[in-house]
Amino acid sequence: MKTLLLPPLLHRLLRDENRPSPKDLSAAFAPAQTGRSSTQVNAWISDQVGITPPVGFFDPLGFSKGKDDATMKYYREAELKHGRVAMAACLGWYLNAGGVHPAFNSALSNDPLKAMVELPAVGWVQFVLGCGAIEWLGQQIKERPGYNPGDLLGAAYWVDNSDEGWVQYQNKELNNGRLAMLAITGMIYQDVFTGEYGDMMYRQLVR
């Protein structure tokens, strides 16, 4: 008889065999989670290629702390792009130092920094337009569904990270790019402060 005094809705809930449990009710009224947990972000980082011995995960400045997927993918895209440019720069540096200037009939200085200053205006125009075209094309490719950072040729459509050989290839590219970024920085500084470039950088080692 006491249950007849309860509000009709609560009375029906008490009689319903499928009524929600107190745990379900508390979950329904719990505040919504906004943002990803640090555990999820750390899991994203630990699953990525590029974390190799002997350094392992290297982030002394904490750039990855608290970052979401979109930001981390942006960082990886930037790392790959700068690494690829640095590898091309290292190759171009030694070609220039060896006197190879196919576009200008070897009329430029063998010193890469001097050659950059001597480059005609038309050469700079070609350089800027070429870089702009590559950037524009890259932005179009990034809009496609399932795009992975740096995968401008669409390799992810044919192979994924379950393939150990593919993972090794990505690790090699990242590590070589990181080394190239350090190398080209050192080459530029040595040329600026000592005037040595090409094989002159190693003469002190072979004496």
As given in the structure block, the two tokens for residue 148 are: 């992975």
- Report whether 4 belongs to an annotated binding site: no
- Identify the three-state secondary structure at position 27: helix
The label of the residue with tokens 């200085």 reads 109
- Report whether 196 belongs to an annotated binding site: no
- Report whether 179 belongs to an annotated binding site: no
* Cα 188 to Cα 181: distance, rounded to the nearest angstrom: 11
Q: Is 158 exposed, middle or buried (0-12, 13-18, 19+ CB in 10 A)?
A: exposed
HSE (CB half, 13 Å, CA atoms) of 129? Answer: 6
- Report whether 164 belongs to an annotated binding site: no
- Report whether 79 belongs to an annotated binding site: yes
92 Cβ partners below 8 Å, 6+ apart?
112
Residue type, 185: T
- Report whether 168 belongs to an annotated binding site: no
- Report whether 77 belongs to an annotated binding site: no
- Report whether 142 belongs to an annotated binding site: no
* Cα 75 to Cα 81: distance, rounded to the nearest angstrom: 10
- Report whether 118 belongs to an annotated binding site: no
Q: Are the CB atoms for 52 and 169 separated by under 8 Å?
A: no
The label of the residue with tokens 């950088």 reads 201
HSE (CB half, 13 Å, CA atoms) of 30? Answer: 10
Residues making up the annotated binding site are 64, 79, 82, 84, 108, 135, 172-173, 176, 178, 190
Residues making up the annotated binding site for chlorophyll b are 84, 135, 176
Residues making up the annotated binding site for chlorophyll a are 64, 79, 82, 108, 172-173, 178, 190
